[in-house]
Structure 1
Amino acid sequence: MSKKIIKNELPENYEELKKAANRTSSWRARYDAVEELGKYNASQVIDILNSRLANDPVYKVQEEAYRILLEFGENVEVPERKKFEVIKGANKVFLRVKKSLPADHTFEQFLDKLKRMRNDVYDAYEGEKGLDWLKNEWANINTKSNNK
């Protein structure tokens, strides 16, 4: 297995990677950008990686930024996995989406509407918790709504 070559310069597509690393609608784009930026040990790259480490709602992205920063010799702490809300107020978003749909709507209809209304929330929870978790949350919102 060959060691990854790290360059002490900015990539030619730095601006594009910078935008992708901050794209709220796609944790996969952020992850891929972080991974690609990890090949370039430059202060601007380190700033972006530190931002993803501290602020990304998806742990996989934080973890990748952490791993790369360690490789670069940066003094960073292991990111803490969020125990409750990945995005503050997301439960209210889920409830609002659920209430905006017909009573007999499907989980797929819920996901579609969530993506249209708040793709950032959908993306963060899909990346962090997965679709099974979202389906369980949707079912619980259904139960809660019927009890009110």
Structure 2
Amino acid sequence: MTKGTPANISQLVKDANNKSSWKIRLAALNELKQYDCQQSRDVITRLALHDKVYKVKEEAFRAAQAMGITYRGNPIRLGRKDIGFKTKDFTKVFLRIKREKSMEELDLQLFKEAFKTIAAEMYDVMEFEKGQKFDDWITNTYKCLPKK
């Protein structure tokens, strides 16, 4: 770990705030945890406390532990996994996309593009959570939408 601020700190902070890609956030975090400066400590603390992708949250937690970062005088706790979305949140977004795109039958590519545009953070979290089964999850959730 190096004392001091990296030259590209503003870009790293911007990448760590990128809600549409957990991979970019994780890469920024891995770079930031090599520097011990106030800005990197702030970003690591925020990711450890609030990131919805558990892998990013866990990495930030480990970095915070290694750096001895506390929050309001207490050590940061990892807590249990919580993606921050409920079933009704998905239903609401899926119905909105179905309505706006006038979809009778599911067009997966069109749906994914609209999903990424309308709810980028939700898309990112679920893409990480579901992994290879992401398309199946979209298809099944779409099939189970309430009928009028």
Q: SS state of the match for residue 117, structure 2? A: helix
Other-structure match for 1:125: 126
TM score, norm. by length of structure 1: 0.81
When you count strand as a share of all residues, which structure comes out higher? 2
* 1:15-54 correspondence runs (5 A): 15-54=10-49
Deviation at 1:60, TM superposition (A): 1.0
For structure 1, list consecutive stretches of 5 or more residues without a partner in the other structure.
1-5
Are the structure 2 counterparts of residues 14 and 58 from structure 1 closer, same or farther at C-alpha, using a change threshold of 3 Å?
Answer: same
For structure 2, list consecutive stretches of 5 or more residues without a partner in the other structure.
70-74
**Structural RMSD (CA):** 2.4
Q: Distance in 1 between matches of 2:114 and 2:60?
A: 31
8 A Cα contact 1:21 1:29, kept in partner = yes
**More deviation in 115-124 or 53-62?**
115-124
8 A Cα contact 1:107 1:135, kept in partner = no
Q: How many residue pairs were aligned?
A: 142
Q: Does 1:9 align with 2:1?
A: no
Are the structure 2 counterparts of residues 81 and 39 from structure 1 closer, same or farther at C-alpha, using a change threshold of 3 Å?
Answer: same
**More deviation in 130-139 or 9-18?**
130-139
Deviation at 1:23, TM superposition (A): 1.1
Between the two proteins, what is the percent identity of the paired residues? 30
TM score, norm. by length of structure 2: 0.81
